[in-house]
């Protein structure tokens, strides 16, 4: 199964983000062994060097650990999952606000629309 990748972000980073999101959603468990570099490269349809870079980046971030002769495993640090979730939330909110401001929506209007949406009063922007 070959993945589709965006041109706006390096492929290794897109794969790392996907693994992080799977971890945060609980699709990948703490301590779970990840596919080998070769297996992940085949699954993703990319060069093994790209996966090696992905795993290296995730290890640098503390999301995975490599055990010599055993493979690459998701971290077992329970705090890491919470930290990653908070980071993803912040990035998504920041992108949302930048997009809204980009179309001329004022901060007060953004807050009001989000509040209405969350309270179930219909879709944001409907009067």
3-class SS letters over the chain: CCCCCCCCCCHHHHHHHHHHHHHHHCCCCCCCECCCHHHHHHHHCCCHHHHHHHHHHHHHHCCEEEECCCEEEECCCHHHHHHHHHHHHHHHHHHHHHHHHHCCCCHHHHHHHHHHHHCCCCCCCCC
pLDDT over threshold 80, residue 52: yes
The residue to which tokens 């908070």 are assigned:
86
pLDDT of 123: 58
pLDDT of 2: 62
In this prediction, residues 29-55 reach a mean pLDDT of: 96
Report the C-alpha gap between 95 and 34 in whole angstroms: 30
pLDDT of 13: 95
- Say which residues have a Cβ less than 8 Å from residue 43's Cβ, sequence separation at least 6: 1, 35
> 22-34: per-residue pLDDT in tens?
999 999 999 999 9
pLDDT over threshold 60, residue 21: yes
- How sure is the predictor about 41, in pLDDT bands with cuts at 50, 70 and 90? very high
The two structure tokens encoding residue 124: 């944001």
Prediction pTM value: 0.76
> 93-104: per-residue pLDDT in tens?
999 999 999 999
């Amino acid at each position: 199964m070959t993945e589709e990748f965006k041109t706006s972000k390096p492929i290794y980073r897109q794969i790392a983000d996907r693994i992080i999101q799977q971890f945060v959603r609980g699709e990948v468990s703490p301590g779970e062994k990840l596919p080998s570099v070769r297996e992940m490269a085949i699954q993703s349809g990319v060069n093994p060097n790209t996966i090696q870079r992905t795993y290296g980046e995730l290890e640098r971030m503390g999301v995975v650990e490599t055990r010599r002769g055993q493979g690459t495993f998701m971290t077992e640090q329970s705090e890491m999952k919470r930290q990653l979730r908070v980071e993803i939330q912040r990035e998504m909110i920041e992108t949302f606000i930048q997009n809204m401001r980009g179309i001329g929506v004022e901060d007060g209007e953004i807050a009001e629309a989000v509040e209405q949406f969350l309270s179930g009063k219909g879709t944001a922007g409907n009067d």
